[in-house]
Amino acid sequence: MDLNMIITWEQISNFLLYLVTTLGLIGAGLGIFLIITPYKEMKLIKEGASPDITKANAGLASAHDLGGKMIGLCVVLASAIYHSANLVELLLWGLVAIAAQIITYYLFGWITPFKVAKEIQMGNVSVAILGSRLSVGCSLIIAALIS
């Protein structure tokens, strides 16, 4: 058996430290998004099973929007993990990445000729999908900038 192929306890503990740190950063990023958005995503998502088409669409729109933010956070954090030499660097890059995603969220609201939050609450799935894709697209650029 090749000794280079054996996973050591040090590698496992390092994996677990990075995993817990990254999950904490994802939780913090999503928590910030849940606080700064003027509507309650989880409430809208829960009400998405309603027979009321407006509530159903609002739930779908909210799920798209929040899902895009989460994917965006995961993409930038994956890059932060890859480029970090240690846990402190991961935390710093993770915080920079979260801040950049939040700035992206506010820029989207600022550059559109309509109120994004209002449109999502009204069930405009198209706006939510656009916001979702913007989050993911910008996260790819942000991820490439992390080095």
Task: Please give the model's pTM, rounded to 2 decimal places.
Answer: 0.85
Whole-angstrom distance, CA of residue 22 vs CA of residue 108: 26
Would the CA dihedral through 128, 34, 121, 38 be positive or negative?
negative
Q: What is the pLDDT of residues 27-59, one digit of tens each?
A: 999 999 999 988 899 998 998 888 889 999 999
Looking at residue 122, the DSSP 8-state letter turns out to be T
Please tell me the predicted confidence (pLDDT) of residue 24: 96
Residues 59, 12 contacting (CB under 8 angstroms): no
Q: What is the pLDDT of residues 94-136, one digit of tens each?
A: 999 899 989 988 998 899 988 988 999 899 999 999 999 999 9
Whole-angstrom distance, CA of residue 91 vs CA of residue 23: 11
